[in-house]
Homo-oligomer: A and B are copies of this chain.
Amino acid sequence: MKINSNYLNLKDNYLFKTVKKKVNDFILKNPGKKIINLGIGDVTLPICKCAVDAANNATIGMGRAETFKGYGPDGGYEFLREKIAEKYYSRSVKIKTDEIFVSDGAKSDISGILDIFSLENVCLVPDPVYPVYSDSNIMDGRQIVYLNANEENEFLPLPEDRYAADIIYICSPNNPTGSVYTAEMLKKWVNFANSNDSIILFDAAYEAFISEKKLPHSIFEIEGSKTCAIEINSFSKSAGFTGMRCAYMIIPHELVREGVSINKLWGKRISVKFNGVSYVIQRAAESVLTNEGNLQCKNLLTYYRENARITSSTLRNSKVRFFGGENSPYIWMKCPENIKSWDFFDYLLENFGVVGVPGSGFGKNGEGYFRFTTFGKREDINEAARIIGGVFS
Set of chain B residues within 8 Å of A105, measured between Cβ atoms? 274-275
Set of chain B residues within 8 Å of A119, measured between Cβ atoms? 4
Distance A274 CA – B132 CA, assembled complex (angstroms): 10
Contacts A47-B68, A65-B46, A139-B115; A265 near B3 (Cβ below 8 A):
yes
State how many copies of this chain the complex holds: 2
Distance A114 CA – B196 CA, assembled complex (angstroms): 32
Which residue of the partner chain, among B1, B62, B111, B281, contacts A278 with CB atoms under 8 Å? B281
State which of A49-57, A90-98, A216-224, A334-342 sits at the interface with chain B: A49-57
Q: Mark A93-108, 1 if CB is under 8 A from B, else 0.
A: 0000000000011011
Does A244 sit at the interface, judged by CB under 8 A? yes
A59 touches B56 (CB 8 A): yes
Distance A121 CA – B257 CA, assembled complex (angstroms): 29
Does A118 sit at the interface, judged by CB under 8 A? yes
A36 to chain B, nearest CB (A): 16
Does A152 sit at the interface, judged by CB under 8 A? no
Q: Mark A291-311, 1 if CB is under 8 A from B, else 0.
A: 000000000000000000000
Set of chain B residues within 8 Å of A120, measured between Cβ atoms? 2
Does A87 sit at the interface, judged by CB under 8 A? no
B60 touches A56 (CB 8 A): yes
Set of chain B residues within 8 Å of A121, measured between Cβ atoms? 1-2
The total of chain A residues at the interface (CB under 8 A) is 81
Q: Which residue of B lies closest to A273 (CB)?
A: B111
Distance A118 CA – B62 CA, assembled complex (angstroms): 40
Q: Mark A111-147, 1 if CB is under 8 A from B, else 0.
A: 1100111111100000000011001100100000000
Contacts A5-B118, A139-B269, A268-B7; A42 near B71 (Cβ below 8 A):
yes
Does A45 sit at the interface, judged by CB under 8 A? yes
Contacts A272-B139, A280-B280; A243 near B1 (Cβ below 8 A):
no
A242 touches B111 (CB 8 A): no
Known: A7-B116, A280-B281. 14 other contacts (CB 8 A): A1-B166, A1-B258, A3-B257, A3-B265, A4-B118, A44-B70, A46-B68, A62-B244, A69-B243, A107-B274, A108-B274, A115-B139, A245-B275, A245-B277
A positions within 8 Å CB-CB of B: 1-5, 7-8, 10, 14, 17, 40, 42-49, 51-52, 55-56, 59-60, 62-65, 68-72, 104-105, 107-108, 111-112, 115-121, 131-132, 135-136, 139, 166-167, 197-199, 240, 242-245, 257-258, 260, 262, 265, 268-269, 271-281, 284
Q: List 30 A-B contacts (CB under 8 A).
A: A1-B167, A1-B198, A2-B258, A3-B117, A3-B118, A3-B257, A3-B258, A4-B117, A7-B116, A7-B265, A40-B71, A44-B70, A45-B68, A47-B68, A55-B62, A56-B59, A68-B243, A70-B243, A72-B243, A105-B275, A131-B272, A132-B273, A135-B272, A243-B278, A243-B279, A244-B278, A244-B279, A245-B275, A245-B277, A281-B281
